[in-house]
Structure 1
Amino acid sequence: MLINKEEKKVVDILRNCIEKANTGTLFFNNSFPEYDDEYVGKILSDFVRQGLLLRLSRGIYLKTKETKFGVVYPTTEDIARAIAERDNAEILPTGSTALNMLGLSEQVTMTPVFLTSGSARKIKCGNKTITFKRGVPKNFALKGKVTRLLVQAMKAIGERNYNGEWESAINVILSKYPEDDTMSEDLKVMPAWIRRKIINILNNKNHEQLAES
């Protein structure tokens, strides 16, 4: 591929950037906007063959580090955020990932699923597979960052499994991370059963505050 000094110069520039980057940094074909995406992709593919990068998926490359335990990967959340930023898309963790991020579960799934406003896709990352599912706009209408995550976590719990223990745990989250400025609007776009549960928690919290005052 290298046929002249100018091309070698570009390759050296990209190699230098990658070598200086932290382990776990993701690179894409458009990570170097001063050069053509397709041209960059060919260079990055060469770096994969040379062992400098690992290809996670088409056009997605990872600077890795080999240890005695194997390849060191960034967290699935970090990978998902980097891809979303590259695509100028929004993402939402779902299921056990949302529960884990809120401290409602210690389970770490090997197949995390994220709703995305971008393209649906699956990305293999070591022994994990990250799935991006196209989400409807209503999923991203919630303004509160914690509330967004909480709604996805409650969907994972399910109305039938929701009980007093879950309510107490969610009450702690709402007390620790109040989003009073956005909650009124967010309640309007929540699923009906989740809205009822959140309102019940907020009402009980208000009664407790009045009793203490």
Structure 2
Amino acid sequence: MKNLIESCYYFIAGHGRGWAFSSSDLLSRFSRQQADSLLSELVKQDKIRRVARGIYDYPAYSELLKKQLSPDMDQVANAYARKFNWRIAVSGETALYMLGLSTQVPASYVYLSDGPGRRYEVMGQVLEFRKIKLRDMGFKHRNSTLLVQALKALGKEHVTPEVITRIRTQLDPGHYERILRDTQSSTGWVHEAIRQICRPDGDG
């Protein structure tokens, strides 16, 4: 049993701090019964954390604050999506907060989904899934959806050079090319804004 616990822990830790998951993410390595038992044991050992019913995370830790951080709600949303085989996309207002364009912590983190409408409490925070049609979620990459949803929520008239610069600081330049390819079908002004955001080295 000890070897199984260590194997399970190393698999989880390999995804990095902040990763959220369910027992479904372990089924390529363990049986359902084993997965449930191993997760229960790792919670007891304080190596992982149960953040909602059936959802766990490998908590991020702040050396400055000397404590575990709150769950990464985007990670949790994606854990639910994998568990139930949903396609999801972050909503506009939530995207603005995640990109640092809104300082107000949302009352609930809202995601669009092709699954049923659901609300979950995650360690005092609310995660909500709203059902939409599949055709409204056509992007392959998380950052593509994040950008498009945030820009649409802002509106063309509010996409200033300062906003472009602020968004750019939140993105890995290594993702620029795939974001540009992924968003080619988006509304004209949205894709033009994304082209400005994803300029190499921020050059004009």
Q: Shorter-chain TM-score category?
A: 0.5 to 0.7
CA distances 1:113-144 after superposition (whole Å, capped 9, x unpaired): 11133454433332312222233112212568
Q: Which residue number corresponds to residue 16 of structure 1?
A: 6
**What TM-score do the two structures reach when normalised by structure 2?**
0.60
Q: State whether structure 2 residue 164 is matched by structure 1 residue 172.
A: yes
Displacement of 1:89 in angstroms is: 4.0
Same amino acid, percent of matched pairs = 25
Q: State whether structure 2 residue 13 is matched by structure 1 residue 29.
A: no
- Mapping for residues 20-169 of structure 1, pairs under 5 Å: 20=10, 21=13, 23-30=17-24, 31-49=26-44, 51-64=46-59, 71-85=68-82, 87-118=84-115, 120-142=117-139, 148-154=145-151, 156-157=153-154, 162=155, 164=157, 166-168=158-160
**What TM-score do the two structures reach when normalised by structure 1?**
0.58
Greater Cα radius of gyration, structure 1 or 2? 1
Structure 2 unmatched runs, 5+: 169-175, 197-204
Give distance in 2, aligned partners of 1:14 and 1:169. 53
What letter corresponds to residue 139 of structure 1 in structure 2? D
- Count of paired positions: 178
Q: Which has the higher contact order (CA 8 A, sep 6+)?
A: 2
Q: Which residue number corresponds to residue 186 of structure 1?
A: 186
Structure 1 unmatched runs, 5+: 1-8, 188-194, 206-213
Root mean square deviation, CA, Å: 4.1
Q: Which residue number corresponds to residue 192 of structure 1?
A: none
Give distance in 2, aligned partners of 1:163 and 1:34. 47
